[in-house]
Structure 1
Amino acid sequence: MKKVFSLLSLALLPAVLAAPADEAQVVLGGNVHFQSGVFPVQDAVEGIIDKGKEKVHQWFEDRKQFIEQHGLTYELVQHPHFSDYKLRITEPKLCDPSVKQYSGYLDITDDKHLFFWFFESRTSPEDAPLVMWLNGGPGCSSSTGLLFELGPCSISGEGANTTHNPYSWNAHANMIFLDQPINVGYSYSEDGSTVNTSPVAGKDVYAFMELFLSRFPEYSTQPFHIAAESYGGTYAPNIANVIYTENKQLPPLPVPGLVKINLASVILGNGMTDNYIQMASIPDYLCEGPYPIYDDPNGAQCAALKSKVPTCQRLIKACHDFNSRLTCVPAALYCNSQLYGPIQQSGLNPYDARVKCDPQEDGPLCYRQMGWIETYLNDPEVKAALGVNPQRNFESCNMAVNQAFMLQGDSMHNTPLLMTEMINDGVRLLVYAGNADMMCNYIGNERWVEQLDSIFLDEFSTAETEQWVTMRSGKVAGTVRSAGARGSGAGNVTFVTVHDAGHMVPYDQPEAALDMITRWIMDIPLTLDFMELAAPVVPFGGI
Structure 2
Amino acid sequence: MMAPPPRFHLRRHSSADVVELIQKFLLPLTIFIYTGLSHSIVENLPGFPAKLPFSLETGYIGVGPNEEVQLFYYFFESEGNPQDDPLLLWLTGGPGCSGLSPILYEIGPITIDYANSNGSLPALKLHEYSWTKVANIIFIDQPAGTGFSYAKTREAYYSNDTTSATLTYDFLRKWLINHPKYLKNPLYIGGDSYSGIILPLVVDHVYGELENEPLLNMKGYILGNPFTDTYSDVNERVQYAHRMGLLSNGLYKLAKQMCHGNYVNVDVENVLCQNVLERVNQCLNKVRASHILEPWCGDRIWNGEGYMPLEHLLSQENIQTNFLQSIATLTKSWCRLDNLLFSISWANDKSVQKALNVREGTKTDWIRCNTSIANSTTKSDGTTIYVKNVPSTMKYHTNFTHKSCRVLIYSGDHDLLVPHTSTENWIDSLKLPIQSDWRPWFVEGQIAGYTMRYVKGAYELTYATVKGAGHTAPEFNPKQCLPMVRSWFNEKTL
TM-score (norm 2): 0.76
Specify which of 426, 439, 451 is matched with residue 480 of structure 1: 451
Q: In the aligned structure 2, how far is the partner of 1:112 from the partner of 1:102?
A: 20
Specify which of 357, 370, 390 is matched with residue 340 of structure 2: 370
Q: Which residue of 2 aligns with 1:275?
A: 230
Q: In the aligned structure 1, how far is the partner of 2:404 from the partner of 2:251?
A: 46
Specify which of 402, 405, 408 is matched with residue 427 of structure 1: 405
Q: For residue 426 of structure 1, report the CA deviation from its aligned partner.
A: 1.2
Q: In the aligned structure 2, how far is the partner of 1:494 from the partner of 1:343?
A: 36
SS in 1 for 2:474: helix
Specify which of 459, 480, 483 is matched with residue 433 of structure 2: 459
Q: For residue 237 of structure 1, report the CA deviation from its aligned partner.
A: 0.4
The amino acid that maps onto 2:396 is L
How many residues align? The count is: 414
Q: In the aligned structure 2, how far is the partner of 1:297 from the partner of 1:450?
A: 25
Q: Is the 8 A contact 2:59 2:357 kept in 1?
A: yes
Q: In the aligned structure 1, how far is the partner of 2:263 from the partner of 2:255?
A: 14
CA distance 1:348–1:164, change in 2 (3 Å): same
SS in 2 for 1:240: helix
Q: Which residue of 2 aligns with 1:139?
A: 96
Query: What's the Cα RMSD here?
Result: 3.1
Q: Is the 8 A contact 1:282 1:339 kept in 2?
A: no
Q: For residue 359 of structure 1, report the CA deviation from its aligned partner.
A: 4.3
Q: For residue 302 of structure 1, report the CA deviation from its aligned partner.
A: 6.0
Q: Is the 8 A contact 1:234 1:411 kept in 2?
A: no
The amino acid that maps onto 1:270 is N
Q: For residue 403 of structure 1, report the CA deviation from its aligned partner.
A: 2.4
CA distance 1:458–1:517, change in 2 (3 Å): closer
Q: Which residue of 1 aligns with 2:249?
A: 297
Q: In the aligned structure 1, how far is the partner of 2:284 from the partner of 2:253?
A: 13
Q: Is the 8 A contact 1:118 1:177 kept in 2?
A: yes
Q: Which residue of 2 aligns with 1:535?
A: none
What are the within-5 Å matches in structure 2 for residues 109-128 of structure 1? 109=66, 111-128=68-85
Q: In the aligned structure 2, how far is the partner of 1:97 from the partner of 1:309?
A: 53
Q: Is the 8 A contact 1:146 1:154 kept in 2?
A: yes
Q: In the aligned structure 1, how far is the partner of 2:232 from the partner of 2:91?
A: 23
What are the within-5 Å matches in structure 2 for residues 95-110 of structure 1? 97-108=52-63, 109=66
Q: Which residue of 2 aligns with 1:285?
A: 240
Unmatched tracts of structure 2, length 5 or more: 1-20, 268-273, 301-307, 312-334, 379-383
Q: In the aligned structure 2, how far is the partner of 1:344 from the partner of 1:204?
A: 41
Q: For residue 274 of structure 1, report the CA deviation from its aligned partner.
A: 2.6
Q: Which residue of 2 aligns with 1:90?
A: 40
Q: Is the 8 A contact 2:161 2:387 kept in 1?
A: no
The amino acid that maps onto 1:514 is L
Q: Which residue of 1 aligns with 2:305?
A: none
Specify which of 137, 152, 159 is matched with residue 190 of structure 1: 152
Q: Which residue of 1 aligns with 2:214?
A: 259
Q: For residue 91 of structure 1, report the CA deviation from its aligned partner.
A: 0.9
Q: In the aligned structure 2, how far is the partner of 1:107 from the partner of 1:150?
A: 26
Specify which of 367, 370, 378 is matched with residue 395 of structure 1: 367
What are the within-5 Å matches in structure 2 for residues 328-343 of structure 1? 342=281
Q: Is the 8 A contact 2:90 2:139 kept in 1?
A: yes
Q: In the aligned structure 2, how far is the partner of 1:135 from the partner of 1:229?
A: 6
Q: For residue 418 of structure 1, report the CA deviation from its aligned partner.
A: 1.8
After superposition, what is the alpha-carbon deviation per residue over 1:443-464, rounded to whole angstroms, capped at 9, x for unaligned?
A: 1011111112xxxx2414x852
Q: Which residue of 1 aligns with 2:26?
A: 38
Q: Is the 8 A contact 2:246 2:283 kept in 1?
A: no
After superposition, what is the alpha-carbon deviation per residue over 1:248-302, rounded to whole angstroms, capped at 9, x for unaligned?
A: x43xxxxxxx32112211111001013343233211111123xx322x1222796
CA distance 1:131–1:340, change in 2 (3 Å): farther
Q: Which residue of 2 aligns with 1:493?
A: 461
SS in 1 for 2:426: helix
Q: In the aligned structure 1, how far is the partner of 2:375 from the partner of 2:367?
A: 15
Q: In the aligned structure 2, how far is the partner of 1:284 from the partner of 1:475?
A: 28
The amino acid that maps onto 2:467 is H
Q: In the aligned structure 2, how far is the partner of 1:431 from the partner of 1:176?
A: 19
Q: For residue 525 of structure 1, report the CA deviation from its aligned partner.
A: 0.8
Q: For residue 232 of structure 1, report the CA deviation from its aligned partner.
A: 0.8
Specify which of 503, 523, 530 is matched with residue 471 of structure 2: 503
Specify which of 291, 297, 301 is matched with residue 352 of structure 1: 291
SS in 2 for 1:298: helix
SS in 2 for 1:492: strand
Q: For residue 358 of structure 1, report the CA deviation from its aligned partner.
A: 2.9
Q: In the aligned structure 2, how far is the partner of 1:122 from the partner of 1:341?
A: 48
The amino acid that maps onto 1:466 is R
Q: In the aligned structure 2, how far is the partner of 1:220 from the partner of 1:372?
A: 36
Q: Is the 8 A contact 1:374 1:395 kept in 2?
A: yes
- Answering whether residue 205 of structure 2 is matched by residue 237 of structure 1, we say no
CA distance 1:228–1:36, change in 2 (3 Å): farther
SS in 2 for 1:465: strand
The amino acid that maps onto 1:176 is I
Q: In the aligned structure 2, how far is the partner of 1:156 from the partner of 1:175?
A: 22
Q: For residue 86 of structure 1, report the CA deviation from its aligned partner.
A: 3.1
TM-score (norm 1): 0.70
SS in 2 for 1:372: helix
- Answering whether residue 174 of structure 2 is matched by residue 211 of structure 1, we say yes
Q: Which residue of 2 aligns with 1:26?
A: none
Q: In the aligned structure 2, how far is the partner of 1:396 from the partner of 1:475?
A: 34
Q: Is the 8 A contact 1:34 1:215 kept in 2?
A: no
Q: In the aligned structure 1, how far is the partner of 2:252 from the partner of 2:171?
A: 51
CA distance 1:200–1:364, change in 2 (3 Å): same
